[in-house]
Structure 1
Amino acid sequence: MIANQHVLIIGFVWPEPNSSAAGGRMLQLIAVFKKMGLEVTFASPAMDSDYMIDLNSLGVSKKSIALNCSSFDDYAKDLNPAIVLFDRFMMEEQFGWRVAENCPDTLRLLDTEDLHCLRLARQKAFKENRYFSTDDLLVEEVAKREIASILRSDISLMIAEFEMELLQSVFKIDSSLLFYLPLLLDPIEESTIQNLPSFEERNNFVFIGNFLHEPNWNAVQYLKETIWPLIRKQMPEAVLQIYGAYPSQKVLLLHQPKDGFYIMGRANDAQEFVKNARVVLAPLRFGAGIKGKLVEAMQCGTPSVTTTIGAESMCGVLPWNGFITDDSQVFADKAVQLYQDKTLWRKAQENGFEIIEKRYLKSLFVDDFMLHVLKVQTDLKLHRLDNFMGTLLQHHTLTSTKYMSRWIQEKNKRI
């Protein structure tokens, strides 16, 4: 049992589980900490949003904090949490040195969500019309910041096996600093499966994704310009519904009902729309991490067609719940085939249920995670001694960050 019964989560934004997979992931982590018997406080420098979850309803305290302000130091000292979880490396950069200075015995966890440097390097390679190479990561500016953050943290939570392997092979990160913790789901009850809409009761293709996320916007452009015309050529009456939070004006301008291409905007209940669709389309051409939209499709019993990047690290050696292809014509052909062939569709649906059962049930991971946290916390001094590079970065890199932050703090006082 952890001595000081408190965990402080420092969030990049307030959790919005209906807007992004990241919001749902955060609620899963909160549930794990609650299961450990910890009191949970969620703090963020972000502005409140209309779609943020009511943290109080989860038994979680809410705390607004300021960037580059010593008020956090006093707050952290008073709270003196057993664990601090940084939501993405940017929060570790901003607040990690303050936690280390004011709460030296606090276990520092980093939830990477996905490797930002991988996503950005792939995006850059795509826009430069060339193949991505792991060498691209070594010159990606964000990689220097993100890897430093991982090294400074006691444990980094990884959502994708591919990214764990990448960190160890390309950046030589010691495995003791990484812990594989994918999305943590409840089992799908047989009664739930029986009550899902049948093949005949479902209609239309669907895409769903937060438009603040560049890979989603790119995928919708790809659908509109290339893939959807190929599908409509075979199915002239086909309909594609695009759901997603925070659509910009350029997204809304793609709405063309005469072509069966509908921009629907935010989905208040995404699962309701996904489970009534027949096929999910997700032609992601760059990105990283686990794709929440595809896990959600499996939960809803909805087969999908995606790319190798879309399916990366998601199914292991298990068959996909649909098709994986990077060729636009094959993508369209398989989407039509899956939409029209009931036998194929039902087999794909069963594959999705198997992936959830064998790779994402929280019962597969939560106990091991709790034991690992307790073990590292018990041996924290030794754990940090074994991470010399992290100690070095804590000393040098954060000293510069600290004094830059102090300078900004003093500058703000004069404004």
Structure 2
Amino acid sequence: MQTYLADRYQAEFIILECDRILNSTAYIRRLRSVIKNRSFDSIIIEYVHSSYFLNCFPENVRMILDAHDIVSERARQFAAFNYQGVLYEMNEEDEYRLFQCYDHVMVLSSNDQTIVSGVLGPERTILSPHPVVTTPKKLRNAVSNITFIASSYLPNVDGISFFIENCWPAIRSKYDVTLNVIGTVCEKLQSPPEKNIMIKGFAANLNDVYADADIIINPVRFGAGLKIKNIEALGNGLPLVTTSHSASGLGKIPADIIKIADQPEEFVNAVVQLIDNYELRKSQGAAAYRFIRQNFSEEVCFSGLLHIIA
């Protein structure tokens, strides 16, 4: 969004602190120094736990919360897998009360749009997903690389660990393929139990990573919001196998675009079908790319927000 607004509207972006995390009092002090003697039509505050910034602006300014995830919903998801208290938590009542302090609340997924619309009404809810601007990758006839790309966020660590333990041995026993794990998620993983699992770490150029991938997996089982790695995989025209939880943020996605699997046997079977069938991989990848172009372009993703602030 930052690049999009800067290119089209000459928007200015000021970072209050680059090198360290401050407390709320210090952030407020710096913000007030930056905005002194300036007026604003609309203000976007990122994350509900940053709502203390509301005190810095007059009541006649349109205040928009960029919620990213619904924190209370994320907490429920984490608790279902016995990860209570790992991240910042907020109960539903307090979170919805803070939503009411804003003129609009912006969310990433259609599921969250439904929840927030129930609290504020649809006219105060903005759906603004993460856009993808990519070109489709050329698929190889034979599968060599199955790829997972993720940060060190706990659900990612849980998901790939679950896949390596419960799914990968069955796939590897049938095929000479490699599992490539990319991103800071690698920092949280133990040494691979097999030589055909490559824990590669951070990649500066994801375009090269996607160009080298034959199948993308996303075995994340819990969390919240839109799974950006899903839409990036689809936007690169690659076949994707993911969980029903992970796919839910995509909205009503046609069945021919992704393969959904939750249990280990389902995940193995879905990956095996793609390995065995080049035409299936090609058709799924092409349908995925068309879906992203139609639903996750910059123009589509930012239209609701730009309509509000124009």
**Shorter-normalised TM range:** 0.7 to 0.9
Separation in 2, partners of 1:66, 1:326: 41
Matched residue, 1:382: none
Name the one with the larger helix percent. 1
Q: How many residues are matched?
A: 304
Task: Say if 1:206 and 1:277, in contact at 8 Å, map to a contact too.
Answer: yes
Task: Say if 2:192 and 2:198, in contact at 8 Å, map to a contact too.
Answer: yes
44, 48, 60: which one aligns with 1:105 = 60
Structure 1 residues 74-93: aligned runs within 5 Å? 74-92=33-51
More displaced 10-residue stretch of structure 1: 269-278 or 364-373: 364-373
Please state whether the residue corresponding to 1:198 is helix, strand or coil.
Answer: coil
Amino acid aligned to 2:197: F
Amino acid aligned to 2:180: Q
Matched, 1:255 2:195: no
Distance 1:114 1:41, change over 3 A: same
How far apart are 1:142 and its partner, in Å? 4.0
- Note the residue ranges of structure 2 that are not aligned, 5 or more in a row: 84-88
Matched residue, 1:41: 13
Distance 1:72 1:38, change over 3 A: same
Task: Please give the TM-score of this superposition, normalised by the length of structure 2.
Answer: 0.87
291, 299, 313: which one aligns with 2:227 = 291
Matched residue, 1:72: 31
Q: Flag the structure with larger Rg.
A: 1
Matched residue, 1:363: 299
How far apart are 1:33 and its partner, in Å? 6.0
How far apart are 1:256 and its partner, in Å? 3.6
Structure 1 residues 7-406: aligned runs within 5 Å? 28-32=1-5, 35=8, 37=9, 39-45=11-17, 47=19, 67-69=24-26, 70-92=29-51, 94-99=52-57, 103-127=58-82, 141-169=90-118, 172-186=119-133, 192-193=135-136, 196-200=137-141, 203-211=144-152, 213-235=153-175, 237-245=176-184, 247-248=186-187, 250-251=188-189, 253-258=190-195, 260-374=196-310
Output one character per residue of 1:220-273: Cα deviation in whole Å (capped at 9) or x when no partner: 2111211212222332x321010112643x41x233443x22211101112211
More displaced 10-residue stretch of structure 1: 303-312 or 109-118: 109-118
Separation in 2, partners of 1:271, 1:349: 16
How far apart are 1:200 and its partner, in Å? 2.7
Task: Say if 1:242 and 1:262, in contact at 8 Å, map to a contact too.
Answer: yes
Task: Say if 2:179 and 2:198, in contact at 8 Å, map to a contact too.
Answer: yes
Distance 1:329 1:201, change over 3 A: closer
Runs of 4+, deviation exceeding 4 Å = none
How far apart are 1:144 and its partner, in Å? 3.8
Amino acid aligned to 1:233: S
State percent identity of aligned pairs: 18
More displaced 10-residue stretch of structure 1: 360-369 or 214-223: 360-369
Distance 1:174 1:241, change over 3 A: same
Output one character per residue of 1:312-334: Cα deviation in whole Å (capped at 9) or x when no partner: 13151423533012121011111
Task: Say if 2:171 and 2:268, in contact at 8 Å, map to a contact too.
Answer: yes
Task: Say if 1:202 and 1:276, in contact at 8 Å, map to a contact too.
Answer: no
Task: Please give the TM-score of this superposition, normalised by the length of structure 1.
Answer: 0.67
Task: Say if 1:282 and 1:305, in contact at 8 Å, map to a contact too.
Answer: yes
Q: RMSD value over aligned CA atoms?
A: 2.6
Separation in 1, partners of 2:34, 2:207: 39
